[in-house]
A and B are shown apart, each in its own frame.
Chain A
Amino acid sequence: MLSPVKIWRNQKKIQKLLNLHGRILSWTKIYVPPLGFESQAPYVIVVVALDSGINYTAQLVDWEEKHLVIGQAVKTVLRRTRDPGEEGVIPYGIKFKPL
């Protein structure tokens, strides 16, 4: 079970990253997922250069093949991230959506 304290501490950082714009620096489609992400595979993860000056790594959602290019404009959205299992606190975090 994910630590509720860690989730709580982490969520403060997430609020600051919502609704930001950026561009894809690189992307990959993961076919062999790690434990906890099986139900989601295959999925795309991207490294994005945010307009604010920092880079961030997260999944890309609501995409079509044409969006999987370096340079594609994206924005940050709030989504569920890791699988909390039957009993755990649900972690929410940042993902990217093509603009």
Chain B
Amino acid sequence: MKIAVLGAATTKFGELWHISPRDLVKEAVSEALDQSGCSRSQIEAIFVGNMLSGVLGGQENLGAFFAEELNLPVSAMKVEGACASGGLAVHAGVMAITSSLYQTILVVGVEKMTDHKPEEVAKSLMGAGSDVERQAGATFPGLYALMARAHMKKYGTTEKDMASVAVKNHYHASLNSHAQFTRPITLEQVLTSSIVASPLKLLDCSPISDGAAAVVLSKNKKQKTKNKKQVYITASVVATDSLGLAERQDLTTIDAAVRAAKKAYKMAGITPGDIDVAEVHDCFTIAEIIAMEDLGFFKKGKAAASIREGKTTLGGRPVINTSGGLKACGHPVGATGVKQIVEIYKQLKGTAGKKQVKGAKIGLTHNVGGSGATAVIHILRRD
């Protein structure tokens, strides 16, 4: 597989009350298109990653909605897979190009969450889980808390281990001008923040955010480019598992991510050790620890210590979540999967600024829907 990423951009993530979804998308798309060097008429299809437009905003038919906004009346559709909507939209774009039906396409991920009360948002997000979980009064922090406690019991993972993930990601975010949170935090601050769903505290949880991200993908590489580095997607894999936690085999792992990653490494012809930099789905701190194990970067039960020791912080390898991850960069649900591609693109192009991983050649994105029902893995490399 060799799909060229011609352009990639995100808006700032955060509580952007004054910016509408239309304007968020326009901003991200125009920057991505500028970078790509493509003319608007070259875009043959638009894939929109989004989860909550209908349940929160009353708006469906999002493909047509943004096609109109962008004045691109081409093939357009919404792709949804809860928090993996963005990654799935990228995957849909990859499938479109691989099919030869389209040559150059646009993927945009967007979410507007801060217009609504947190309780309403929490309830809508539970659309990603099972009905039994909704009837139990579960929330996403609750579901990941259940996984955290099982991981703590099985591997001795501590609250401090989880807190160090938050500290690392806030540090990285302080170097990211697009991040929602711009200041570093301390372990103490995380450990003393209020409990949301035991043992997860406020600072263990990603925030509610608005934002958009866009990428231009093509069969053809860029013709004229000052920056000689060309970035390609060399693997795009989706795997699914049960909607509900109860039906999983093991509460301490996201098996869909394990399976998708194995297939992706094979597709790209690499091993986990080849990954220099990765954006993983840290919707909650425990999720990053589990992801390190699921992706094969560390053995089961060993990731926590390595993270605490700084092995995945800037300067280490693999460097995880230079954008600040979902935790500190923000998590506008449908945009996250696309933003992850943007971050890796910048790392491989060498345009990541203060958070640049030196000599990054191969990167990975890990985007999860629900508590692990959907997992999308992309591998990117540069020439």
Contacts and interface: CB of A to CB of B under 8 A. Distances in A.
A32 B122 contact: yes
A35 interface: yes
A23 B70 CA distance: 54
Contact of B141 (A32, A36, A58): A32
A28 to B, nearest CB: 4
Contact of A45 (B126, B146, B150, B194): B146
B207 to A, nearest CB: 13
Given A26-B251, A36-B123, A47 B139 contact: no
Contact of B119 (A25, A33, A46, A81): A33
Contact of B142 (A36, A45, A56, A93): A45
A37 B137 contact: yes
A47 B197 contact: no
Nearest to B202: A32
B149 interface: yes
Contact of B195 (A31, A35, A43, A54): A31
A35 B142 contact: no
Given A34-B123, A70-B150, A70-B153, A40 B137 contact: yes
Contacts of B138: 30, 34, 45, 57
Nearest to A46: B146
B298 to A, nearest CB: 22
Interface in A46-77: 46-47, 54-59, 70
Query: Chain B interface mostly helix, strand, loop or mixed?
Result: helix
Interface string B95-126: 00000000000000000000001111011001
A32 B122 CA distance: 9
A51 B259 CA distance: 29
Contacts of B195: 29, 31
Contacts of B150: 25-26, 70
B122 A56 contact: no
B137 A59 contact: yes
Nearest to A54: B246
Contact of B136 (A25, A31, A32, A45): A45
B135 interface: yes
A28 B371 CA distance: 15
A62 to B, nearest CB: 16
A54 B244 CA distance: 12
A26 B154 CA distance: 11
B383 interface: no
A19 to B, nearest CB: 18
Nearest to A37: B137
A40 B137 CA distance: 9
A77 to B, nearest CB: 13
Interface string B182-199: 000000000000111111
Contact of B147 (A26, A81, A91): A26
A28 B141 CA distance: 9
B133 interface: yes
Contact of A30 (B123, B142, B251): B142
Nearest to A96: B136
B139 to A, nearest CB: 5
Interface in B211-235: none
A56 B246 contact: yes
Contacts of A93: 135
A63 to B, nearest CB: 13
Interface in B28-87: none
18 contacts: A25-B150, A26-B147, A26-B149, A26-B251, A28-B197, A29-B195, A30-B137, A30-B142, A31-B197, A32-B118, A34-B123, A34-B126, A34-B138, A35-B117, A43-B137, A47-B245, A47-B251, A93-B135
Given A27-B146, A28-B149, 4 more contacts: A28-B198, A32-B118, A33-B137, A34-B137
Per CB-CB distance, the 4 closest pairs between chain A and chain B, nearest first, are A28-B145, A55-B246, A37-B137, A35-B123
